[in-house]
Structure 1
Amino acid sequence: MKKRQSATIKTGALALILAFGAALAGCGADTDTKTAAADDTAAAQTAATDPQNNSAESDTQAAEGETRVVKGEFGDVTIPAHPQRVAGIYMEDYMVALGVTPVVQWYHPSWGIQDYLNLDVPQFDITGSPEALLAQQPDLIMVDGGADQAAYETYSKIAPTYRLPESMLQDSKQILLAVADALGMPEKGEEVLAAYEKTVADDKAKLREKVGDETVAVVRLNGGEKTMALFGIKNRYTGSLFSELGLTPHPLVGEMEDFQQVVSEEGLADLDADHIFIFPASGDWESDENKEAEKILDRPVWQSLKAVQSGHVYKVERSYWQSGGIRANLLKFEDVMKHLAP
């Protein structure tokens, strides 16, 4: 799971990176001088013969230099009006939904990455040094509640950092619009949201017809601990099944105040939900750790559950079931429709 980072950037490391960049820039300077002079002459000739093209280039450069102010969790921050190289730490899902590729993808050694995004970009270990992020030269960094003020201040030394307000972090739709706005594409955000809401409305209607008031629960198998965690209706990752798709939570789920709770064997006996979705905490179902943990499902108490006896337990992929992003939600909804309303 996400781990807060409080590491600070060391001056020596920064100086080394800058010195390395300067050394690269200086290599072959004598040879490059003639090339640069030739390029400048060609550019001047182009400008003289095509002033309209020259004006368009100037307008683009001016636009790229524009800034604006957004209100983040830790105060106002000035960000590029048209960011080009964006790091969205924990926010990659929304960027992908908007058609924007982040410069890095967050990674945690004990959790992995959000595999479902299929990103081909450098990974940034959020438990390690920020130099890997610095190396990608972002012009904007966006973060959510996974970054506390110390981490925010570290990121801010690399590039303007927009930490989304805490008040919106339980609502993926608000996050989508905030990310789209920060990227300078609010219209695209509205377009993606409209498509998302149409999917939700269509799925909800079909589920009402197919499932009715049958109860649903979501369980995570904790491989290392060999325990089970029940996810509540307020869980940021799976709460959308109930709040948006309109599924009926099992009473144990609906009454839960916590985002999730480890369930004892006695408590598990009371989980007589009609349908249960289950996923491993990390890795895939074929890993040795999860195969070992899966032996919990052979216990009599699990085998006695209504959903098990009726064949209504559904194994699903953990990375998007443990994410509350727009893309992740849509993939969860696909799983729900496949199993409950085929």
Structure 2
Amino acid sequence: MISWGRKCIGTVVLIVAMSAIAACGNNKAADGNAVQTGNKAEQTAAASAAPAETGNKPSSEGATRTIAGEFGEVEVPVNPQRVAAIYLEDYLKALGVTPVVQWYHPSWGKQDYLNLDVPEFDISGSIEALLDKNPDLIIADGGVDAAKYEQYSLVAPTYRLPESVLQDSRLILTAVADALGIPEKGKAVLAEYDQKVADGKAALQQALGQEKVAVIRLNVADKTVALFGVKNRFTGVLYNQFGLTPVPMAAEMTEFQSIISEEVIPELQADHIIVFPDNGEWDTAANQEAIRILDGPLWKNLPAVKNGNIYRMERSHWQSGAITANLMKLDDLLKAFVK
């Protein structure tokens, strides 16, 4: 078995070189999706909704077990102690696990709503920063393709979530809990989540009935407006779990989001409009020009705006579809709609 742990700078250079070779040897799929290998067993494993365990070893220090991820089987610690969960830190926090690093990108920032006191890992930079934290398990989501998976796997055992779970935060939570070796904790967290969602859904339905809701994002850099559809991984939960009624345009969308002109906004037929910026805070200086859109005559004449039914939300948790973020969105909605 490969010995994982801290490596020297020379090893980092070797890793980068090996990663480049691995990347060249892999076919690329359209839209950045990971390519399945020709191994039939790996393809079968990738279709499962949660990691499949095989040949578990006794639970003791240094013991490992085998689970199946998107790119095949991987041997992971039975009791991982130093976990890096790339863009999945929300699920670790929900499960009471503190990651060794937090995902970060210079252009997009990080998930500030988690309030994690851990070092940032710049995913656009060198892998040396992650190597230095000596993780004993890496968990990754759909943003990691086959080439990147090979690179992470040189640092520590890496479990890439199966594609089959990525559209459902509940399935992701179960898969992450299983990979961490704490499936019962996952079931408890999920039961609590489901109860809060059920209670919130009942309160929202009583308050709103069939009134139609639109979710809008202000894209600050190019000063455009995006309508989020019912299949959006960030806000689709409002409709498929919280029971809100989407505006017709959002209900008919097959894509995650659609850029719409200001002239189209009155056609949304929205009784309520939820809006947030794509980056920064509402009072960030760079956002002020984009925010002026909301002061234009088309917006001011909307029935939703005239009735005071436009709600400015904070972008951090509204641009995550994970468990903690979803409950924070539910709290926002209850405060806005349930009097």
Q: Which residue of 2 aligns with 1:320?
A: 317
1:334 and 2:331 aligned = yes
8 Å CA contact retained: 2:233, 2:321: yes
Identify the match of residue 164 of structure 2 among 167, 171, 196.
167
The alpha-carbon deviation at position 150 of structure 1 amounts to 1.1
Alpha-carbon separation, structure 2, partners of 1:304 and 1:324: 32
Q: Which residue of 2 aligns with 1:286?
A: 283
Alpha-carbon separation, structure 2, partners of 1:15 and 1:280: 39
Normalised by the length of structure 2, the TM-score is 0.83
Q: Which residue of 2 aligns with 1:98?
A: 95
Q: Which residue of 1 aligns with 2:302?
A: 305
Number of residue pairs the alignment of both structures matches: 291
1 or 2, which has the higher helix percentage? 1
Per-residue deviation, residues 10-40 of structure 1 (Å, max 9, x unmatched): 97353799xxxxxxxxxxxxxxxxxxxxxxx
Alpha-carbon separation, structure 1, partners of 2:207 and 2:104: 39
8 Å CA contact retained: 1:271, 1:305: no
Q: Which has the larger radius of gyration?
A: 1
Q: Specify the SS of the correspondent of 1:63.
A: coil
The alpha-carbon deviation at position 265 of structure 1 amounts to 2.2
The alpha-carbon deviation at position 299 of structure 1 amounts to 1.6
Identify the match of residue 246 of structure 1 among 233, 243, 247.
243
Per-residue deviation, residues 44-81 of structure 1 (Å, max 9, x unmatched): xxxxxxxxxxxxxxxxx971211111111111111111
Q: Which one-letter code corresponds to 1:270 in the other structure?
A: E
Q: Which residue of 2 aligns with 1:149?
A: 146
Q: Which one-letter code corresponds to 1:151 in the other structure?
A: K
Alpha-carbon separation, structure 1, partners of 2:137 and 2:68: 14
Q: Specify the SS of the correspondent of 1:270.
A: helix
Shift in CA distance, 215/297, structure 1 to aligned 2, threshold 3 Å = same
State the Cα RMSD in Å. 1.8
Q: Which residue of 2 aligns with 1:218?
A: 215
Identify the match of residue 192 of structure 2 among 185, 191, 195.
195
How do residues 227-266 of structure 1 correspond to structure 2 at under 5 angstroms? Answer: 227-266=224-263
Q: Which one-letter code corresponds to 2:12 in the other structure?
A: L
8 Å CA contact retained: 1:64, 1:83: no
Q: Which one-letter code corresponds to 2:178 in the other structure?
A: D
The alpha-carbon deviation at position 272 of structure 1 amounts to 2.3
Q: Which residue of 2 aligns with 1:36?
A: none
Q: Which residue of 1 aligns with 2:70?
A: 73
Q: Specify the SS of the correspondent of 1:277.
A: strand
The alpha-carbon deviation at position 99 of structure 1 amounts to 0.4
The alpha-carbon deviation at position 256 of structure 1 amounts to 0.7
Could you tell me which runs of 5 or more consecutive residues in structure 1 were left unpaired when the two chains were aligned.
1-8, 18-60
Could you tell me which runs of 5 or more consecutive residues in structure 2 were left unpaired when the two chains were aligned.
1-6, 16-57
8 Å CA contact retained: 1:233, 1:249: yes
Q: Specify the SS of the correspondent of 2:135.
A: coil
8 Å CA contact retained: 1:107, 1:123: yes
1:12 and 2:10 aligned = yes
Q: Which one-letter code corresponds to 2:330 in the other structure?
A: F
Q: Specify the SS of the correspondent of 1:269.
A: helix
Alpha-carbon separation, structure 1, partners of 2:189 and 2:295: 43
Alpha-carbon separation, structure 2, partners of 1:323 and 1:208: 23
Q: Which one-letter code corresponds to 2:129 in the other structure?
A: A
The alpha-carbon deviation at position 266 of structure 1 amounts to 2.6
1:204 and 2:190 aligned = no
Per-residue deviation, residues 109-154 of structure 1 (Å, max 9, x unmatched): 1111101100010100011111111100000000000111111111
The alpha-carbon deviation at position 178 of structure 1 amounts to 0.7
The alpha-carbon deviation at position 196 of structure 1 amounts to 0.3
Normalised by the length of structure 1, the TM-score is 0.82
Q: Which one-letter code corresponds to 1:142 in the other structure?
A: I
Alpha-carbon separation, structure 2, partners of 1:62 and 1:79: 12
